[in-house]
């Protein structure tokens, strides 16, 4: 999208004071100089999990209840496998016991699913200490061996890491990708209804009916199913259900917050369309990073908004007239400030690698007219990096969307509009859109189109909005997401309204 750059950084939820100190630290991280430390469920530093390929499989019909277990029988349900620790059915509840913090008591069940909701009523009966936990296994091999992807709840849920998304790596270490504070204490002796909705690599953590956290970093396998895990506690479970969901997570559910799309990364706090801007956006709480892609003279897709490199690099010329080697040599950060010097114009391949290893999903705008072969190269890069489950393609160019649909029908599509079509629903159906993405000014002329698009199953994401009064209006209008230069501020604003 075309939007004038905002130079004032504003508040961010990264540690540190002014922009220079934060950006300098993140620049080093984004360029691979340092490793981001992650808190583990046992508060010991561990290595991050390696990126895991995600291979989607045929899904059951949305709404199908695949597991519905109230534990009324005398023994473990058929098909459930107690891998470690003590598991039994007692007084109409499943009970798992782990003797200490080092024992990961677990039971596996279910099948591999791409889009699903897992929910259960859990109760801590006893705990070694308030840091002990239970978890919903989101992607766990039936054998219970690593790696796993889980959603964790501590007995002390109101701690800063009371709820987590985490991974147990093949090296048998922990990588925690996201943490949150629960709105109430689980404690002991109290039934708590918990749920997680999973869409590929993305997931929502729901505590007693309230969404508390999202992630785009669920590591997926080809065949992992579901599980329950207990650590240093005795936990009982009841009324467990696994339900198939419709693909994608583009429409927000009742009570869910707006989705935060970081426009060109966190472009108010870091140089736009760079890996540094992406990293700031991730730490700001953005689920999606919006960036633009265009080809170099030799056909390599690069992440750049303008037709020329003049504004955002130390070079001159049209991107389509410069080779990949010439683009790689440019400094794309110094124009923004001394702390950003050294940031590069990333190729699409480099950005996809960064997203795989550091987390996040990509709202990828195909910028300007593209030939079918140019779109095919973009699709190839996405496929080669195993990122089809984490890339959403949008464009103003109808031909680019048609080419994408022809070449990769599994990639969701969004149409960008500076003014509304006479019949947005008809256009969405014609192009096979998952989202219709108008400017804020355009939507304000006919906000009623949101309801019509939703009725047709199409999400609405609005660009580019940076003020709280407009966030409030769009939230009230029922739009699904906001594309903003200020992802930290929007994420904070949404959090304060929960």
Asked, as a colleague might, if the bond just before 395 is cis with ω within 30 of 0, I would say no
pLDDT reported for residue 248:
59
419 and 278 in a common domain: yes
Check whether 335 has a pLDDT greater than 60. yes
Tell whether 12 is covered by a domain: no
Check whether 174 has a pLDDT greater than 90. yes
Query: Residues 9-45: pLDDT tens digits?
Result: 333 333 233 334 444 445 444 444 333 333 333 333 3
End of a domain among 193, 215, 244? Answer: 244
Check whether 333 has a pLDDT greater than 80. yes
Alpha-carbon span 302 to 349, nearest angstrom: 8
Give backbone dihedrals phi and psi of 351, rounded to 5 degrees, phi first.
Answer: -65, -40
- Please give the average per-residue pLDDT across 351-368, as a whole number: 92
219 and 175 in a common domain: yes
Check whether 5 has a pLDDT greater than 60. no
Share of residues in the chain with pLDDT > 90 (%) = 71
How many domains does the chain fold into? Answer: 2
Alpha-carbon span 33 to 297, nearest angstrom: 30
Active-site annotation holder among 263, 370, 385, 454 = 263
pLDDT reported for residue 32:
45
- Please give the average per-residue pLDDT across 343-370, as a whole number: 94
188 and 332 in a common domain: no
Strand partners, 355: none
Alpha-carbon span 278 to 280, nearest angstrom: 6
Give backbone dihedrals phi and psi of 126, rounded to 5 degrees, phi first.
Answer: -145, 155
Tell whether 469 is covered by a domain: yes
Query: Residues 468-486: pLDDT tens digits?
Result: 999 999 999 999 999 999 9
Domain that holds residue 293: 19-37+254-497
End of a domain among 244, 269, 299? Answer: 244
Check whether 109 has a pLDDT greater than 90. yes
Q: And the tokens for 491?
A: 């994420």
Active-site annotation holder among 5, 112, 199, 305 = 305
Tell whether 474 is covered by a domain: yes
Q: And the tokens for 345?
A: 């114009």
- Please give the average per-residue pLDDT across 265-288, as a whole number: 94
pLDDT reported for residue 210:
86
Quick one: CA dihedral 36, 37, 41, 46, positive or negative? positive
436 and 392 in a common domain: yes
Give catalytic status of residue 263 as yes or no. yes
258 and 237 in a common domain: no
Check whether 384 has a pLDDT greater than 60. yes
Q: And the tokens for 129?
A: 């200490």
206 and 129 in a common domain: yes
Share of residues in the chain with pLDDT > 70 (%) = 87
Task: Indicate the pLDDT class of residue 287, thresholds 50, 70 and 90.
Answer: confident
Task: Indicate the pLDDT class of residue 1, thresholds 50, 70 and 90.
Answer: low
Question: In terms of Cα–Cα distance, which of 367, 368, 413, 369 is closest to 388?
Answer: 413
- Please give the average per-residue pLDDT across 379-384, as a whole number: 96
Give catalytic status of residue 199 as yes or no. no
- Please give the average per-residue pLDDT across 401-417, as a whole number: 94
419 and 349 in a common domain: yes
pLDDT reported for residue 59:
54
Question: In terms of Cα–Cα distance, which of 250, 275, 258, 248 is closest to 352?
Answer: 275
Task: Indicate the pLDDT class of residue 456, thresholds 50, 70 and 90.
Answer: confident
Check whether 159 has a pLDDT greater than 70. yes
Angle at 363 between CA 360 and CA 369, to 5 degrees: 150
Alpha-carbon span 444 to 447, nearest angstrom: 5
345 and 294 in a common domain: yes
Angle at 196 between CA 194 and CA 198, to 5 degrees: 170
Residues in CB range of 116: below 8 A, 6 or more apart: 66, 197, 198, 242, 243, 244, 245
The CATH number covering residue 339 comes to 3.20.20.190
Task: Indicate the pLDDT class of residue 447, thresholds 50, 70 and 90.
Answer: very high
Tell whether 1 is covered by a domain: no
**Rg for the chain, CA atoms, rounded:** 23
- In three-state secondary structure terms, 319 is helix
Alpha-carbon span 60 to 55, nearest angstrom: 16
Task: Indicate the pLDDT class of residue 421, thresholds 50, 70 and 90.
Answer: very high
End of a domain among 244, 272, 301? Answer: 244
Q: Between these two residues, 24 and 238, which has the higher pLDDT value?
A: 238
Check whether 56 has a pLDDT greater than 90. no
169 and 301 in a common domain: no
> Which range has highest mean pLDDT (7-21, 180-194, 484-498)?
180-194
Label residue 254 exposed, middle or buried (CB < 10 Å: 0-12, 13-18, 19+). Answer: exposed
The CATH number covering residue 168 comes to 2.60.120.560
176 and 277 in a common domain: no
Check whether 238 has a pLDDT greater than 90. yes
- Please give the average per-residue pLDDT across 180-207, as a whole number: 92
Tell whether 393 is covered by a domain: yes
Check whether 299 has a pLDDT greater than 80. yes
480 and 377 in a common domain: yes
Query: Residues 123-135: pLDDT tens digits?
Result: 999 999 999 999 9
pLDDT reported for residue 455:
85
158 and 116 in a common domain: yes
């Amino acid at each position: 999208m075309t939007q004038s750059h905002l130079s004032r950084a504003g508040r961010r939820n990264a540690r540190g004071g002014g922009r220079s100190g934060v950006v300098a630290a993140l620049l080093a991280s984004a360029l691979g100089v340092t490793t981001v430390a992650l808190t583990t469920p046992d508060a010991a530093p561990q290595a991050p999990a390696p990126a895991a390929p995600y291979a989607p499989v045929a899904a059951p019909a949305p709404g199908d209840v695949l597991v519905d277990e109230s534990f009324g029988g005398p023994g473990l349900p058929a098909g459930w496998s107690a891998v470690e620790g003590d598991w039994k059915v007692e007084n109409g509840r499943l009970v798992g016991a782990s003797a200490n913090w080092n024992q990961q008591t677990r039971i596996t069940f279910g099948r591999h699913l791409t889009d699903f909701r897992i929910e259960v009523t859990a109760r801590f009966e006893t705990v070694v200490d308030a840091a002990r936990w239970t978890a919903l296994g989101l992607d766990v091999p039936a054998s219970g061996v690593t790696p796993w992807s889980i959603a964790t709840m501590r007995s002390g849920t109101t701690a800063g890491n009371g709820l987590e998304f985490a991974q147990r790596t093949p090296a048998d270490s922990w990588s925690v990708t996201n943490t949150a504070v629960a709105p109430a204490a689980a404690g002991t002796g109290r039934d708590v209804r918990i749920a997680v909705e999973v869409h590929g690599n993305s997931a929502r953590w729901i505590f007693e009916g309230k969404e508390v956290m999202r992630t785009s970093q669920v590591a997926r396998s080809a065949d992992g199913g579901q599980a329950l895990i207990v650590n240093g506690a005795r936990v009982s479970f009841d009324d467990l259900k696994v339900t198939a969901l419709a693909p994608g997570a583009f429409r927000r559910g009742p009570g869910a917050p707006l989705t935060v799309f970081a426009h060109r990364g966190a472009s108010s706090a870091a140089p736009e369309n760079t890996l540094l801007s992406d990293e700031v956006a991730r730490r700001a709480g953005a689920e999606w990073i919006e960036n633009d892609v265009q080809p170099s003279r030799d056909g390599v897709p690069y992440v750049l908004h303008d037709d020329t490199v003049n504004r955002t690099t130390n070079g001159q010329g049209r991107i389509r007239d410069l080779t990949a080697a010439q683009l790689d040599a440019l400094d794309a950060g110094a124009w923004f400030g001394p702390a950003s010097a050294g940031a590069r114009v990333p190729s699409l391949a480099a950005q996809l690698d960064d997203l795989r290893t550091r987390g996040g999903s990509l709202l990828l705008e195909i910028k300007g007219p593209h030939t079918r072969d140019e779109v095919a190269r973009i699709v190839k890069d996405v496929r080669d990096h195993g990122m089809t489950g984490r890339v959403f393609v949008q464009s103003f160019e109808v031909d680019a969307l048609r080419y994408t649909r022809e070449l990769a029908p599994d990639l969701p599509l969004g149409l960008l509009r500076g003014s509304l079509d006479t019949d947005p629903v008809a256009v969405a159906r014609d192009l096979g859109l998952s989202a219709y993405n108008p400017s804020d000014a355009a939507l304000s002329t006919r906000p009623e189109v949101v309801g019509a698009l939703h009725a047709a199953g199409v999400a609405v994401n609005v660009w580019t909005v940076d003020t709280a009064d407009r966030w409030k209006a769009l939230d009230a209008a029922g739009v699904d997401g906001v594309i903003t230069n200020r992802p930290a501020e929007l994420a904070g604003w949404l959090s304060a309204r929960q």
